[in-house]
Amino acid sequence: MTRNVARLAATTPEPRWLSDEELAAWMSMARVMTLLPPALERQLRGACLSWMDYHVLASLSEQDRHRMRMSTLAESANSSLSRLSHVMRRLEDQGFVRREPDPGDPRYTLAILTPDGHDKLAAAAPAHVEAVRRMVLDPLDPGELESLRSVFDRIYVALGRCR
């Protein structure tokens, strides 16, 4: 071991190792985080959409007048503007979205859901919702559902503090 590494090891606090119970909980969560996204991707492939495509269309559908600033949409999708622009270009080519300058502030660009995009989302949603039910919600009883929401809300807040 070099002197620098030895010095670092001597000054680094001991990690807060996971207890057996914490490790079991973490491993359960890690399995779900590993398996769920590809399972949802496979399900959406039947609708010729990616998870990101679906997220963009669904996010826009929930907004007043089906529009949102690209920067806000990127943040909502945990995406860079560059990646979102690629997704938007693909969705634009299919006629599902369009982009235009924000009339309130032309420095920003709006992402807008088109009627064809709304129709595409409406066609894909029933099978997607069924997959979400089957994979995530149906195995839980109502009390567990509330606990799951509460747990993930707290993890979401913690992740925001770690950015």
Residue 76: is it exposed, middle or buried by C-beta count within 10 angstroms (0-12/13-18/19+)? middle
How high is the pLDDT of residue 125?
97
Strands (E), 6-162: 67-69, 97-101, 109-113
How high is the pLDDT of residue 122?
98
CA atoms within 13 A on the CB side of 64: 0
Instruction: List own/partner pairs for 66-75 with CB under 8 A and 24 or more apart.
Output: 66/112, 66/113, 66/118, 67/110, 67/111, 67/112, 67/113, 68/110, 68/111, 69/102, 69/108, 69/109, 69/110, 69/111, 70/99, 70/108, 70/109, 70/110, 70/111, 71/108, 73/111
Residues in the chain: 163
Q: Is there a domain that residue 85 lies in?
A: yes
Q: Is there a domain that residue 45 lies in?
A: no
* Residue span of the structural domain in which 88 resides: 50-137
* Greatest distance between any 2 Cα atoms in the chain: 65
Q: Is there a domain that residue 36 lies in?
A: no
pLDDT, one tens digit per residue, over 67-117 is 999 999 999 998 999 999 999 999 999 999 999 999 999 999 999 999 999
How high is the pLDDT of residue 162?
75
pLDDT above 70 (res 7): no
Q: Is there a domain that residue 55 lies in?
A: yes
Q: What CATH number is attached to the domain comprising 85?
A: 1.10.10.10
Q: Annotate 123-161 with DSSP letters as a single string.
A: HHHHHHHHHHIIIIITTS-HHHHHHHHHHHHHHHHHHHH
CB proximity list for 81: less than 8 A, separation 6 or greater = 70, 71, 74
Q: Is there a domain that residue 8 lies in?
A: no
Q: Is there a domain that residue 68 lies in?
A: yes
* Count of the separate structural domains present in the chain: 1
Q: Give the count of beta carbons closer than 10 Å to the beta carbon of residue 70.
A: 18
Q: Which residue has the tokens 């491993």?
A: 27
How high is the pLDDT of residue 89?
98
How high is the pLDDT of residue 161?
77
Q: Is there a domain that residue 99 lies in?
A: yes
Whole-number average pLDDT of the chain: 92
Query: Model's pTM, two decimal places?
Result: 0.82
Q: Quick one: what percent of the chain has pLDDT higher than 70?
A: 93
Q: Is there a domain that residue 2 lies in?
A: no
